């Protein structure tokens, strides 16, 4: 059976999970947290790298800062978009005030900046606020490409 790698949002353990159309209950083999959890994960450089390099899911990153009001306004939409993509995309948040080296690595000049990654590679970025629907449409396009690539591999 085809498997894909799912990084636990809680402990960062890399789980091998059979590819399925739908998932009912899938827990981390190490900490037992649900891998279906969709709440955006606040990451530092180490956990960011773990997610983007070791996950077969699309990774959607919100580069933000607490003083940026469009960022604060967009936060609920980012969360809402994440809930629609369990086991399809992992949503991460990078506080650029704290994670300065990540902001420098990706040359973040405008906030918010949203980047989609697949296996560590930047596929696209947007440098403006997006609502739930726009975020969903934007990420779905890349999820479809990831899944096509996975089924070709198998």
Active site residues: 68, 71
Q: Tokens in use for 64?
A: 């933000």
CB contact set of 109 (below 8 Å; sequence gap of 6+): 127
58-64 and 41-42 strand pairing: unpaired
Candidate segments 8-16, 73-81, 103-111, 144-152, binder of Zn ion by CB under 5 A:
8-16
Strands (E), 37-138: 41-42, 58-64, 89-95, 113-118, 121-126
The secondary structure of residue 40, as a DSSP letter, is P
Q: Does 28 bind Zn ion (CB under 5 A)?
A: yes
Nearest distance, CB of residue 33 and Zn ion, angstroms = 5
Judged by CB under 5 A, which stretch of 2-10, 52-60, 120-128, 134-142 contacts Zn ion?
2-10
CB of 10 to Zn ion, least distance (A): 5
Nearest to 110 by CA among 70, 143, 148, 55: 70
Given the structure tokens 């690595």, which residue do they identify?
105
Q: How far is the CB of 117 from Zn ion (least distance, A)?
A: 21
**Interface with Zn ion, residue 31, by CB under 5 A:** yes
Residue 144 near Zn ion by CB under 5 A:
no
Q: Which residues bind Zn ion (CB under 5 A)?
A: 8, 10-11, 13, 28, 30-31, 33
């Amino acid at each position: 059976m085809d498997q894909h790698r799912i990084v636990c949002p809680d402990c960062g353990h890399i789980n091998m999970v059979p590819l399925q159309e739908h998932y009912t209950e899938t827990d981390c083999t190490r900490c037992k947290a649900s891998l279906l959890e969709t709440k955006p994960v606040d990451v530092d450089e180490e956990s960011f790298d773990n997610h983007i390099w070791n996950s077969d899911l699309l990774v959607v990153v919100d580069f933000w800062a607490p003083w940026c009001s469009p960022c604060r306004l967009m936060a609920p939409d980012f969360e809402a978009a994440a809930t629609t993509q369990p086991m399809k995309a992992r949503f991460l948040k990078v506080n650029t005030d704290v994670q300065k080296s990540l902001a420098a690595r990706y040359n973040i000049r405008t906030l918010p900046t949203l980047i989609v990654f697949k296996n560590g590679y930047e596929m696209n970025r947007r440098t403006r606020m997006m609502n739930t629907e726009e975020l969903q449409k934007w990420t779905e396009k890349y999820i479809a490409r990831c899944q096509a690539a996975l089924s070709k591999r198998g």
